[in-house]
Amino acid sequence: MVDPCDGLEDLKPHNLLTYKSGQESLDAWAIEELIGHYVNYRKAFAPREPAGEFGLYAVTTRRPRALAEQVALERVKPGVYLLPVVGRTITLIVLREVAPCPRNALWEIFSFEAAKIAAGAGMYQWRQDDHFPILEEIYRRYREAGIPMSYTFQDFRRDLARETLPELTPEERLRGLPPEDLVRGLRTEGRLRGLSDEDLAQLKDLLERGTSGRP
């Protein structure tokens, strides 16, 4: 990662992650499950790898208050903690506490807070062009969960288009527009500018046919 999200700066060759949303709680049982998955994964796929080649991550939208009362959390930076468990160190990431900045845009999208979700969606650098269905599905699920999204998905698409328009080539800007929209608003001389002599001759012929009634 060029500029990874907070907490993911030291990824290992093998990484296991558990995530709890704003509707779930990251408790001691969830940590035990993560340790269990780590043991099973290591036995099945990398039995000869040393322990230092594995990274364990517990990501939670809201602060795990009950867990914090049971074990000591070592704060590394806002929203990032170290959790020592039976000889392993788990990186605990609390999404609502991480610093608001472009590198944490993905974390903000899953913060379950409307303002942060909108900010994260606007800052995140998507690695694929067809990401809109993914983002739309995230927005839909937030609405179903009762989170007030005053900044809608349509608002996001419109603002994103405004921001990226200056970076597009003329061909990219016009792609997808029907012919009638391409010339709407142009004066007659503007519509004819750039046409070749052959194009002008064909246009003249079409006009003459239309006025004379010839097929």
**Residue 43 counted as domain residue:** yes
What is the tens place of the pLDDT at every residue in 62-92?
A: 999 999 999 989 999 999 999 999 889 999 9
Residues 45 and 67: their CA atoms lie apart, in Å, by: 30
**Residue 193 counted as domain residue:** yes
Residue 93's domain spans which residues?
1-127
What is the reported pTM? 0.68
Residues 3 and 196: their CA atoms lie apart, in Å, by: 50
Question: Which of 162, 112, 165 minimizes the C-alpha distance to 120?
Answer: 112
pLDDT of residue 176 exceeding 70, the answer is no
What is the tens place of the pLDDT at every residue in 177-210?
A: 676 655 565 566 656 666 777 877 777 777 777 6
Q: Which two tokens stand for residue 54?
A: 């594995």
Place of tokens 């939670």: 60
Do 181 and 107 lie in a common domain? no
What is the tens place of the pLDDT at every residue in 105-160?
A: 999 988 888 788 878 877 877 666 666 677 777 777 777 777 765 555 566 556 55
pLDDT given for residue 179 in this prediction: 62
pLDDT given for residue 11 in this prediction: 96
Do 123 and 19 lie in a common domain? yes
Find out whether 79 and 97 touch, Cβ atoms under 8 Å: yes
Do 114 and 17 lie in a common domain? yes
Do 114 and 197 lie in a common domain? no
pLDDT of residue 15 exceeding 60, the answer is yes
**Residue 140 counted as domain residue:** no
Domains of the chain: total: 2
β-bridge pairing 80-85 and 74-77 = antiparallel
User: How does the average pLDDT of the chain come out, rounded?
Assistant: 81
Residue type, 172: E
